[in-house]
Chains A and B, each alone.
Chain A
Amino acid sequence: DMKVTQMPRYLIKRMGENVLLECGQDMSHETMYWYRQDPGLGLQLIYISYDVDSNSEGDIPKGYRVSRKKREHFSLILDSAKTNQTSVYFCASSLSGGGSQNTLYFGAGTRLSVL
């Protein structure tokens, strides 16, 4: 069964705390993504990972970093979280990064609140 799994589903943190969001996929997809979704803004790309230790900034990377040490696992890290990072975060994966194989498979999302 093709699946992208995100943990945790819900998270509440205080401003200044560190946050770790985790994502796994069982499809051996090369490319993985982190998006955030805010009302009225659609999905904004934070980072793309093309494979292990091959990561690129997306459109809004500031305040975030990522780690991909295994192909099936991609982490999003917020060092010293800010209140404006309250959002829903989606992880996605695709077979590869380009062209017709760009179909993205999404995880269920993590709803993060930074107080």
Chain B
Amino acid sequence: GEQVEQRPPHLSVREGDSAVITCTYTDPNSYYFFWYKQEPGASLQLLMKVFSSTEINEGQGFTVLLNKKDKRLSLNLTAAHPGDSAAYFCAVSPSSFSKLVFGQGTSLSVVP
């Protein structure tokens, strides 16, 4: 079945720097990709949903890139600020019905 590997597990950047989190997946037929943000002690909140038909997706302060050839999904936080400090999880919807497969998570710390 689908396997998702997320790197790095921990990331510390200075305020204003960029932060990049990457997930690689194995099922070439995967079509839906998600990024979730989990602030300390809180639940997971959807950051962005990406379809495989679109390779670059921009949100507020971040960009999601999808490289279907390499089966790689990345989240790039531009000009990170302390409010971005959280755990981030990618999730991939494989070709089979229903189950999302989550990455292991990245704990991001943005230092002032």
Complex: A99 Cα to B99 Cα, angstroms: 9
Complex: A109 Cα to B45 Cα, angstroms: 12
Distance of B2 from chain A, by nearest CB (Å): 11
Interface of B is mostly: strand
Complex: A1 Cα to B36 Cα, angstroms: 20
Distance of B32 from chain A, by nearest CB (Å): 6
Complex: A82 Cα to B51 Cα, angstroms: 40
Inter-chain contact B98/A102, CB cutoff 8 Å: yes
Chain A contacts of B43 at CB under 8 A? 4, 90, 106-109
Chain B contacts of A90 at CB under 8 A? 43-44
Q: Is B25 an interface residue (CB 8 A)?
A: no
Q: Is B20 an interface residue (CB 8 A)?
A: no
Distance of A9 from chain B, by nearest CB (Å): 10
Inter-chain contact B51/A100, CB cutoff 8 Å: yes
Q: Is B14 an interface residue (CB 8 A)?
A: no
**Most A CB within 10 A of own CB, among B89, B97, B98, B100:** B98
Closest 9 pairs between A and B when the two form their complex, measured CB to CB = A97-B98, A42-B104, A106-B43, A106-B44, A42-B102, A43-B102, A108-B43, A98-B97, A42-B105
A–B complex contacts, Cβ < 8 Å, 27 sampled: A4-B43, A40-B104, A41-B104, A42-B6, A42-B89, A42-B102, A43-B102, A45-B100, A48-B99, A50-B98, A90-B43, A92-B44, A97-B98, A98-B97, A98-B98, A99-B32, A99-B93, A102-B32, A102-B93, A103-B34, A103-B46, A103-B49, A104-B34, A104-B46, A104-B100, A106-B45, A108-B42
